[in-house]
Amino acid sequence: MSAETIEKTIEKKPAEALFSKRRKKLVSDPLVDDNPITIQVLGICSALAVTTQMKPTLVMAISVIFVVVMSNLTISLMRNTIPSRVRIIVQLAVVATLVTLVSEVLKAFAYDMYKELSVFVGLIITNCIVMGRLEAFALGNKPYDSILDGFGSALGYSWIILAVAFFRELWGSGAVFGIPVFEYVSSLFGPDFKLATNGLMVSPVGAFIILGLIIWVQRTKTGYVEH
Amino acid sequence: MQQSNAYIITFSVILTVVLGLLLSGTSQVLGPMQKEAIALDQKKQILGAVISGDEIAAMTPDEVNAYYGSHIASTVVDMNGKEIAGATAEGVDVAKNYKKPVEERQFPVYIFHEEGNVASVKSYIFPLYGAGLWDAIWGYLALGTDMNTVGGITLAHAGETPGLGARITEPGVQSRYEGKEIFNESGELVAIQMQKGEGKDYSGNPHQVDGMSGATITGNGVNNMLINYLGYYKAYIESKKSSTAVASL
């Protein structure tokens, strides 16, 4: 209790701006320069599995954002009380609880999505991004910063899987969010013209190809080299 | 202080209790809504055997309930085709019945009819249940009034491999069953077999459909499920068959 009050008084002195440069970096860094998928290559399995269509991918992205932000916040709030010998189990328990909550809410309000995503929502528990952020950041930082950090990482994950899903759904099923784009475009060029879809994009192989291309483009632009 | 065993144990116990209460509380609050969602999903699956998935997807939950109410009648029979009084089809858990001996099982039948007119039957829908490669698979098969020709089928699964066995939920796979027949020329029940391999043309054979590449075991599961459940319903099917034969005379 006393340690906490001391910390609070220290915290008040510098009075960092709500969106200071350092805090903005917490959110923006994982978007490109330190992206969990393209740079750290974490969370690949769900990136491959759920990205055949935009809609489930969006639900997955929102679920991951919720779980990462909330678990970062919870662990950060408890960081001074968590016994270090059982900290991984504590993190796991918190993450598993949050994931189960997401799963239950989906089951009640979006049963079709639940059926489609149930396995992968469950697998958020093992998503390396979540545990990685808890270990690397939330255990040693204040709640607000942890929220920003979690939000940034999850957003970095989300925009990549949404980008992959966009191309996979467009080229694989000729649609975006279920709207048949190819059909419409084809109809502009007369009745005999038909844009073909590529079955490869619907299979997981398609995700590997798209993801590989995104990583290639990004690393060419940022000049990132693995050491 | 924090590292003592007593502290760790106390911390773990408190954490467990708090998280446990949170989860069970959520489950309690959301339970009724989940039940409703599951019931609605069952209706969608039943309707999926007789109308296209796109049509169902375009309906709101209320519309699905209304459509179901005005187009589906139901009954429950035993394996001798006798109606079981006092049982409602929607209340029968096919998965739970699957564990009982066949003689004691209740078999729901859903009857798809013209809007509001129970007498003009369009097709009979039979629930199916069985084992895939990893976990349970189930579905609904719709037979025309000749009690032979398949009008449509919906298939679902608990844990088949995505991209392989899980493809049984795809309209492209399910539509392969449409127009197939369950009785052969001599009137024996042979059902429909999904074949090994994919890409062959089985349009000439009324009892075979194209398989799913890489998912032969799931396909076998579907085959077993079909022959088993059509066998359980055989008495009921035969009774309807003879009554419609008489009616058409």
| pLDDT at B43 exceeding the cut of 80 | yes
Least confident of A8-22, A180-194, B19-33, B194-208: A8-22
| pLDDT at A113 exceeding the cut of 80 | yes
Looking at every residue in chain A, the average pLDDT score rounds to 81
| pLDDT at B28 exceeding the cut of 90 | yes
- Residues A186-193 have a mean pLDDT of 77
Cα angle, residue B37 at apex, residues B34 and B40 outer, rounded to 5°: 150
Instruction: Parse chain B into domains and list their residue ranges.
Output: 45-248
Is the ipTM higher than 0.90? The answer is: no
| pLDDT at A9 exceeding the cut of 80 | no
pLDDT attached to residue B142: 92
A1: contact with B, CB 8 A cutoff: no
* A29, A86 contact by CB (below 8 A): no
A112: contact with B, CB 8 A cutoff: yes
| pLDDT at B224 exceeding the cut of 70 | yes
| pLDDT at B192 exceeding the cut of 70 | yes
Least confident of A19-28, A135-144, B202-211: A19-28
B24: contact with A, CB 8 A cutoff: no
pLDDT attached to residue B49: 86
**Pairwise CA distance, residues A172 & A189, whole Å:** 20
pLDDT attached to residue B242: 72
For chain B, first and last CA: distance in Å? 91
Task: Give A 186-205 residues with CB within 8 A of chain B.
Answer: 203-204
* B102, B77 contact by CB (below 8 A): no
| pLDDT at A92 exceeding the cut of 80 | yes
Instruction: Answer yes or no: do B159 and A119 touch at CB < 8 A.
Output: yes
What percentage of residues in chain A have a pLDDT greater than 70? 92
| pLDDT at A119 exceeding the cut of 50 | yes
pLDDT attached to residue A116: 77
* B86, B76 contact by CB (below 8 A): no
**Pairwise CA distance, residues A72 & B96, whole Å:** 41
pLDDT attached to residue B185: 86
Rg of chain B over all Cα atoms, to the nearest angstrom: 22
Residue B244 pLDDT class (50, 70, 90 cuts): low
User: How far is the CA of B115 from the CAs of A20, B119, B120, in angstroms?
Assistant: 64, 10, 9
| pLDDT at B102 exceeding the cut of 90 | no
Instruction: Pick the residue from chain B with its C-alpha nearest to A117.
Output: B162
Burial of B248 (0-12, 13-18, 19+ CB in 10 A): exposed
Q: B156: helix, coil or strand? A: strand
Instruction: Pick the residue from chain A with its C-alpha nearest to B6.
Output: A83
Å between B155 CA and nearest CA of chain A: 13
Instruction: Parse chain A into domains and list their residue ranges.
Output: 21-218
Residue A19 pLDDT class (50, 70, 90 cuts): confident
pLDDT attached to residue B249: 46
Instruction: Answer yes or no: do B12 and A109 touch at CB < 8 A.
Output: no
- Provide, as residue numbers in chain A, all residues whose Cβ is less than 8 Å from the Cβ of B8: 83, 85-86
* B32, B40 contact by CB (below 8 A): no
- Provide, as residue numbers in chain A, all residues whose Cβ is less than 8 Å from the Cβ of B23: 97, 100-101
A81: contact with B, CB 8 A cutoff: yes
**Pairwise CA distance, residues B190 & B192, whole Å:** 7
pLDDT attached to residue A124: 81
| pLDDT at A1 exceeding the cut of 50 | no
- Provide, as residue numbers in chain A, all residues whose Cβ is less than 8 Å from the Cβ of B27: 104
- Residues B192-218 have a mean pLDDT of 89
Of B176, B175, B182, B203, whose CA–CA distance to B52 is shortest? B175
Per-residue tokens: B75: 């009954």
Task: Give A 119-138 residues with CB within 8 A of chain B.
Answer: 119
Per-residue tokens: A180: 């048949």
How distant is the alpha carbon of residue A57 from its chain centre? 10
Nearest CB neighbour to A93, from listed B15, B34, B37? B15
pLDDT attached to residue A6: 52
Instruction: Pick the residue from chain A with its C-alpha nearest to B26.
Output: A101
Of B79, B85, B82, whose CA–CA distance to B104 is shortest? B79
pLDDT attached to residue B245: 55
Residue B210 pLDDT class (50, 70, 90 cuts): very high
pLDDT attached to residue A14: 57
| pLDDT at A172 exceeding the cut of 60 | yes
Q: What is the pLDDT of residues B45-77, one digit of tens each?
A: 889 888 887 888 888 888 888 888 888 888 898
- Provide, as residue numbers in chain A, all residues whose Cβ is less than 8 Å from the Cβ of B22: 97, 101
A-B CB pairs within 8 A amount to: 58
A179: contact with B, CB 8 A cutoff: no
**Pairwise CA distance, residues A186 & A182, whole Å:** 6
**Pairwise CA distance, residues B148 & B187, whole Å:** 10
A193 or B98: which leads in pLDDT = B98
| pLDDT at A191 exceeding the cut of 50 | yes
Residue A15 pLDDT class (50, 70, 90 cuts): low
Residue B23 pLDDT class (50, 70, 90 cuts): very high
Nearest CB neighbour to A83, from listed B3, B23, B162? B3
pLDDT attached to residue A140: 86
